[in-house]
Structure formats: structure tokens, C-alpha cells
Amino acid sequence: MSRFLHSFVSSVSGAVQDVPRHRLPLLCAAGLGITAIASWVWWRRTHWQLSQVGTVSQLLIYPIKSCRPVSVQEAECLDLGLRNGELEDRHWLVVAEDGHMVTGRQEPRIVLINVNRLGDSLCLDAPGMEKIMVPFSQPKTNKVLDCRVFGTDIQGRDCGDDVSRWLTAYFQSSQPYRLVHYEPGVMKPRKAREQEKPFRDKDIIAYSDAGPVMLLSETSLEELNKRLENPVTLGNFRPCIVVSGCEAFAEDGWNDVKVGTTELKRVMACGRCLLTTVDPNTGVMSRKEPLETLRTFRKSDSSLSHLYKNSPLFGQYYGVEQTGKLRVGDPVYVKVRKD
């Protein structure tokens, strides 16, 4: 650190001789600011170290909210969550005529819709239905609809009448359903803190429930299944990043995570709801398990009841501290303070 500052001061001293006297106060202020930043970077590097806590075993992207995920080997982690090419996490949404979201809570059979990438389109497939293609890029002449996701407003470009008829027929709905697409850089994202107060002002989302990234360990799922008569799968909980090689619920304490070139900041646990009781293989909502069992051993501390109410906690929400890339097999590190 001393060598770095000595070099910096020497270079600044040489430059100062050529600066007009009336500009010296401004230069000094700038120099102090740069020195403070350099000191802060040095302090972080010398007072913290990385400790491996697990390995990425799966990366899951859910293009259409509540539909089945696409498993990928690598992904970019952007401010809005994971992306692999044109597949972006929770950037498509099924809505009712009034713009309100339609998820597995309203239509449990939505979890049976397969979504895959085929050329320049999403390919949707569901039981009893012919496959349908939805282009990634929609014509700008398509309407932009005002939508509602958990009480907050967000826009989406309509994906056309063909997929609307397909969805309406699949759900056997008396009202038409439509598919909309969130366009990054064109439409305004939701602020995560408008959904959950612990999120930071910088944390943004499209159609996700609360945060841009949700992480869950395989061992946590295994621990839950030990207590269940009928085991459940990751499909009940819909994480983006799945980690192996750690103790059950170790992720509860992973506050600062680095994986690949991505850095994540843990914000809060994921409070679980009725969606977890929708069987991802049948599309049937039991309204009981695994929620009832989770409540027996994963309730929050009473001091946090204002945040989680009666919801059991399973998995952790993260904000994106540093965008980057990650892949299956990457080690997962946490930052720990040096002794």
C-alpha cells in the first residue's frame, strides 16, 4: 500500500508544478478522493479473503414466469438476473385481460409448459397442445401493455394473438390470456425494494417475485426431503443457482458471494408460499406439502415476523453486486474477514 501511495503522490507532485495556481484546490480535492478510493480498495483486499463453500451444480433460467426452466451450462449474471443468449430469466409473463400476472398460484398447470430455445424463437410445448413458436424479438407495432406483478406496475410488449389463443385454450379459460415480453433498455424495471424492503435501491427486477437471483443448495433440499413422506424437487422452489458440496442451509450465512466473475450480495431469505405446493410433474396444487413441513423447522425468528409473517424460509435472495459470468462447476466463494 505504501509503495502504491508513494508512486501516486510522486506522479501527482510532478503534475502539480504545471497546474495554474487557481486550479490547485480542485486538483487537491480530486487527489484526496482518489487516495480515499485507493485506500478503501487496499483495505478490502487486505482485510478480507475468499473461502470456497461449494460448487455450482445447476444454472436454471425461467424465461416465462412460472413455466418450466431451461438448464444451461453457463450464463451471464446481469442486474436483472441470469441470461444465456436470448434466454433471460423471467422476462416473459402470462397476463389476464386486465394486465394482472398469471402464475402457478392462479393456474397451477402453467408449471407443465416447457419452454426451449429454437433458432430465434421460444418454443412452447404443453400436454395436449401443439408446439408454438414465439419470436424473441416482437414487432414494435405490437402493443405495449401495462401489467401488474404483485401490486407493482411494469410494462410488457404483447407477443401476438396466436400465442394468446394457445394459452387461452390450454388453460380452458373463459377470458383471454396473453403473453408479454419485458424489453431491457426500453422498459422501466421494477425496484426490488418496492416488493421487499430489505433490497437495495440498486436491485432491479423484471417479472421475478422479489429479487434478481435466488440461490439454493442441494443439501438443503435433501434435508427437507428426509422429513417428507413424498420427496419434492427443485421444481417446487425454482432457484436460479443451485450449489452442491456444502452443509444443509449453509447458504443462510453466505452474505457476500463470488462465483465466476460475478459478485452477489445476500439480501434476505425467500419466504415460501402456496406455489411450492404445486407438483411440477402434475400441475396439481395440494396447498399442503412441502409448506406444512417447512413451517415445522424453517420459521423465521419472531423479530423478523414483520418481514416474513408466517412464511417458512427456504433459499436465499441475492442482489447483483458485480455483473459477470458463471458456469456449472465453478467454485462458490464467500468473503470472510481475516483474523
Mark which of 131, 157, 188 sits at the end of a domain.
188
Given this model, what pLDDT does residue 48 score? 86
Is residue 73 in a domain? Answer: no
Mark which of 153, 188, 223 sits at the end of a domain.
188
Verify that 199 and 328 share a domain, yes or no: yes
- Return the closest-CA partner of residue 95 out of 176, 21, 191, 23: 176
Number of structural domains found in the chain: 2
Is residue 144 in a domain? Answer: yes
pLDDT in tens, 146-199: 999 999 999 999 999 999 999 999 999 999 999 999 999 999 999 999 999 999
- Return the closest-CA partner of residue 238 out of 268, 213, 259, 220: 213
Mark which of 156, 188, 220 sits at the end of a domain.
188
pTM confidence score: 0.86
- Return the closest-CA partner of residue 106 out of 292, 274, 293: 274
Given this model, what pLDDT does residue 35 score? 54
Given this model, what pLDDT does residue 236 score? 98
Q: Domain of residue 133: give its range.
A: 83-188
Contact in structure between 211 and 77 (CB atoms under 8 Å): no
Verify that 174 and 224 share a domain, yes or no: no
DSSP annotation of 101 reads B
Verify that 117 and 246 share a domain, yes or no: no
Given this model, what pLDDT does residue 16 score? 46
**pLDDT over 50 at 274, yes or no:** yes
- Longest Cα separation, the chain: 80
**pLDDT over 50 at 43, yes or no:** no
Verify that 274 and 313 share a domain, yes or no: yes
Cβ burial, residue 171 (10 Å; 0-12/13-18/19+): middle
Verify that 198 and 303 share a domain, yes or no: yes
Contact in structure between 171 and 126 (CB atoms under 8 Å): no
Place of cell 409448459: 113
Is residue 14 in a domain? Answer: no
Q: CA 85 to CA 214: how far, in whole Å?
A: 20
- Beta-carbon-side half-sphere exposure of residue 318 (alpha carbons within 13 Å): 32
DSSP sequence for 184-199:
BTTBPPEEGGGT-TTS
Place of cell 418450466: 68
Q: Among residues of the chain, what percentage have pLDDT more than 90?
A: 85
Contact in structure between 55 and 334 (CB atoms under 8 Å): no
Say which range, 17-21, 57-61, 201-205, 255-259, has the weakest mean pLDDT.
Answer: 17-21
pLDDT in tens, 312-330: 999 999 999 999 999 999 9
